[in-house]
Amino acid sequence: MGPKAIDLFAGAGGLSLGLTYSGIEVVGAVEWEEKATTSYKYNIGDHIICEDIKKFEPEKMERFLKKTGAIKSKKEIDIICGGPPCPGFSLIGRSKISNLIKTGEWQGSDFRHSFIDDERNELFLEFVKYVDFFEPKVFVMENVAGMKSYLSSGNAPIIDIINQEFESLGYKVNVKILNSANYGVPQSRERILFFGTRMKKEFSHPKGFEWANNIQDAFSDLPEVNPIDGKPKSTKLKLMKDIKGKRRKKFINWSRLQSVPIKRKRQHRDCTLHNTRKVNPRDQAIFPLLTSGQFSERILYKHVFPDLLKEVKRLLPKEFKMLPKSKEYLIVAKDPEDTRKWKWYDPSKFGDKMRRMRLDSPGPTVVAHLAKDGYMFVHPTENRTITVREAARIQSFPDSFDFSAGGKVAFSHQMRQVGNAVPPLLGLAIGQTIMTYLGLEISLSLEEVFGLKNPSLTV
């Protein structure tokens, strides 16, 4: 077996999945959200604990791993990884010196303490505690790329403060912003990664490809979806002979054929989770007016309302009408017994509320907000928002990954899980870099996924 890892804040398991493909054995994981845990167990394994990490201390994880037979000693844990949620990183305020300082548990500058004492960053501290307890050879912590520009109230760079915490534990930290699009993921998604190691050997970040997959690469074999009911018109993926482009075929083959750790029988042409929200009457008239900018000038929501209301009125389904300006242009049914109505968003506040994606470039960053609506992800050629499967393809999840966990997880939770996940192909790039660093043989490399000869992405 490969080196053993613990995944903290694991979500549905995007990072665990990528690490597993590279040859790393993820033996423990922690996630507080029940539905995400359900999906993780269904697809990856039952080594995940559904618990608030503040209540599941590293000592409890050690006992759990020994009980399951995953380890005999905590020294067997080679890797700690995960991405602590980051609400406190965007606005760091100075708070009073906490009990951490009073007890002398933490050492360092006052700026450093004003960061670690901020209750919004307690989850970061939990990650530090796990690293401190297990003393892994390597840790990987990922977060929002914008963290690089954040300062504490004393103008100390947050990155420096984080580095000091890990350096105080004896780790050398290497920080870099990675874009998923450089690793075969058809999505522009920047994340900052902290690689820490106790070993003297120099650590190198993954070196990406010089090309990027785009939305057309991800969607080419998916059947059309009926915008009225949000369901696919076919339950089968298109034939591979109809797909053009060598690299596109490689990505689609990855999507169709790659299995997840919990293997289940499935037909590789089965199209699953390819469903989305029904398109309401107002949006049935708005979506056709949106353009991505690929073939003509880009048109967003702010260009539609209020400047294109005549066109909206013309495109409304015949059973609906638009009320006059005095009634705020509400969209209502002509049938008086149908009391539904659709308002308009303020274009000065929600100018890009609705936008169409381009086929010829990587997709925008998939976000958890998809659980509420998909307006920022209108399909490139169809007048609807994207499906769960399309969102998963943009994130590079293989089709074998079932975010519904066999029907146990509802649509909105599936979308949230996809949006919160680390793209598995980025996880694979991270995993193979760790494996190379540790001098171990990689089980699967990104180069193999795309049929390239170079066995490693590391520089």
Tokens 């075929």 sit on residue: 249
pLDDT band at residue 16, thresholds of 50, 70 and 90? very high
Residue the block writes with tokens 């903290």:
8
Q: Is the pLDDT of residue 345 over 50?
A: yes
Instruction: Say if 135 falls within a structural domain.
Output: yes
Q: Is residue 86 part of a domain?
A: yes
Euclidean distance between CA atoms 18 and 425, whole angstroms: 6
Which domain does 59 fall in, by range?
4-210+422-449
Q: What are the tokens at 158?
A: 């947050």
Output the pLDDT for position 144: 86
205 and 72 in a single domain? The answer is: yes
In a domain, 257, yes or no: no
**Confidence grade of residue 113 (pLDDT, cut at 50, 70, 90):** low
Lowest pLDDT segment from 101-110, 135-144, 355-364, 381-390: 101-110
Q: What number is the average pLDDT over the span 116-122?
A: 61
Residue range 433-449: average pLDDT? 95
Exposed e or buried b per residue across 86-107, where buried means at least 16 C-beta atoms within 10 angstroms of its C-beta: bebbeebeeeeebeebeeeebe
- Cα separation, 116 vs 165, whole angstroms: 9
The per-residue pLDDT of the chain, averaged, comes to 91
What's the average model confidence in pLDDT over 424-436? 97
Which of 124-128, 135-139, 164-168 is the most confident on average?
A: 135-139
Per the structure, the count of domains in the chain is 2
pLDDT of residue 195: 96
Q: Is residue 290 located within the same domain as residue 435?
A: no
Of 195-209, 238-252, 360-374, which range is least confident? 195-209
Give the whole-angstrom CA distance, residue 125 versus residue 121.
7
- The pair of three-digit structure tokens given for residue 434, joined into one six-digit string: 């760790």
Is residue 161's pLDDT more than 90?
Answer: no
Burial class of residue 403, CB neighbours in 10 A (0-12, 13-18, 19+)? buried
How far apart (Å, rounded) are the C-alpha atoms in residues 190 and 283?
30
Is 393 among the domain residues?
no
Q: Are residues 378 and 439 in the same domain?
A: no
Provide φ and ψ at 30, rounded to 5°. -130, 135
Q: What number is the average pLDDT over the span 204-219?
A: 93
Q: Is residue 27 part of a domain?
A: yes
| C-beta separation of 403 from 275 below 8 A | no
In the residue annotation, 271 being an active-site residue is answered as no
Judgement on whether residues 312 and 433 belong to the same structural domain of the protein: no
Report CA-CA distances (Å) from 83 to 10, 86, 256, 309.
Answer: 8, 8, 28, 44
**Residue recorded with tokens 């100075």:** 94
**Assigned token pair, 368:** 């958890």
Same domain, yes or no: 364 and 439: no
Q: Which of 12-26, 118-132, 243-257 has the lowest mean pLDDT?
A: 118-132
* For residue 105, pLDDT beyond 70: no
Q: Tell me, what's the pLDDT at 207? A: 86
Residue predicted with more confidence, 424 or 110: 424
Mean pLDDT of 86-104: 41
DSSP 366: P
Residues 346 and 436 in one domain: no
Q: Tokens standing for 212?
A: 């990027």
Beta-strand pair 138-144/331-333:
unpaired
- Give a yes or no: residue 311 inside a domain: yes
Q: What is the mean pLDDT of residues 428-443?
A: 96
Model pLDDT, residue 414: 98
- Exactly one of 50, 81, 86, 271 is catalytic; which is it? 86
E strands in 309-424: 320-322, 331-333, 341-342
Q: Do 191 and 137 belong together in one domain?
A: yes
| pLDDT computed for residue 393 by the predictor | 98
pLDDT for residue 257 is more than 80:
yes
Look at residue 96 in the predicted model and tell me its pLDDT. Answer: 31
Q: What is the pTM of this model?
A: 0.92
Q: What is the pLDDT of residue 127?
A: 95
Q: What is the CATH classification number for the domain harbouring 51?
A: 3.40.50.150
The H or E element that residue 258 is part of is none
Residues 23 and 94 in one domain: yes
Residue 90's pLDDT is: 42
Comparison of pLDDT for 109 and 427, the residue scoring more? 427
Among the three residues 331, 365, 386, which one is the final residue of a domain in this structure?
386
12/159: higher pLDDT: 12
- Tell me: pLDDT of 114 over 80: no
Q: Which amino acid is at 387?
A: T
Answer yes or no: is 285 within a domain.
Answer: yes
pLDDT digits (tens, 9 = 90+) for 145-157: 888 877 666 677 8
Same domain, 183 and 321: no
Task: Give the contacts of 115 (CB within 8 A, at least 6 positions apart).
Answer: 92, 121, 152, 156, 158, 161, 162
319-342: average pLDDT = 97
**Contact assessment for residue 140 and residue 195, using Cβ atoms and an 8 Å cutoff:** yes
Q: Do 149 and 289 fall within a single domain?
A: no
Q: Is the pLDDT of residue 17 over 70?
A: yes
- The predicted structure's pLDDT at residue 340: 96
DSSP 8-state secondary structure symbol assigned to residue 9 = S
Same-domain status, 434 and 349: no
